[in-house]
Structure 1
Amino acid sequence: MDIALLTLNDFDTLLNTAFTISISDEVQLDAELIEVTKLNNYSPLERNPFSIVFRTDQKNEYYEQGIFTIVHPEKGDLQLFLSPLGFDDMGMKYEAVFS
């Protein structure tokens, strides 16, 4: 997948589905896509900005922001820059922003 061509619609249909976040060859996190949000259009680019949020089942630890491979069983692999958002009652949340 070409990241520059991705839109909010590419993720809307994947809401509440399972992904894997590959932190490294040794660390794979089960994750769920829990939010797909349209952002204000502050960019001169053709694509409308949006963000997506994944939740893992991590309760106490998290990984610093960085580029990780996101794997969906049907859509394949995608390298995204993820930032930790914090914990909620169910686990740790990570966000990717597409501007």
Structure 2
Amino acid sequence: MSFSLDMFEPLVGQDFRIVVDGGERIATLIEACSLREAQGAGRLSRQFSLVWRGPPGAVLDQGIYRVLHPALPPQDLFLVCLGPDAQGMRYEAVFT
């Protein structure tokens, strides 16, 4: 399945489950933004990024995690830790 920014924009502010070592962590999608449009393989694609905020004390290492939300099929995403803000730890996935 191909994911698009339009699929995630309505989910900003909602919780996602991130599968970690047989358990789960909850992270809130706080940002879904367009990066740019790119031409490739004869079609135009819209590149975008997603940012989640998790609890401040539980840091996930950079890597591939199963991310779950009831409105979407399960997806394995490469998450990068962006560091903390005033409310928790932030993670980003980029779609190109």
Q: After TM superposition, is the score higher than 0.5?
A: yes
SS at 1:39's partner residue?
strand
Whole-angstrom CA distance in 2 between matches of 1:43 and 1:66:
27
CA contact (8 A) 1:33 1:54 kept: yes
Q: Pick from 19, 23, 41: which aligns with 1:22?
A: 19
| Structure 2 partner of 1:47 | 45
1:25-62 CA-to-partner distances (Å, cap 9, x unmatched) read 1x3111110000100235525321000001101x2341
Structure 2 letter corresponding to 1:34? I
RMSD (CA atoms) = 1.5
Structure 1 unaligned regions, length at least 5: none
Question: 5 Å matches for 1:1-99?
Answer: 2=1, 5-25=2-22, 27-42=23-38, 44=40, 46-57=44-55, 59-99=56-96
Matched residues, percent identical?
Answer: 34
In structure 2, the gaps of 5 or more residues are none
Aligned residues: 94
Structure 1-normalised TM-score?
A: 0.85
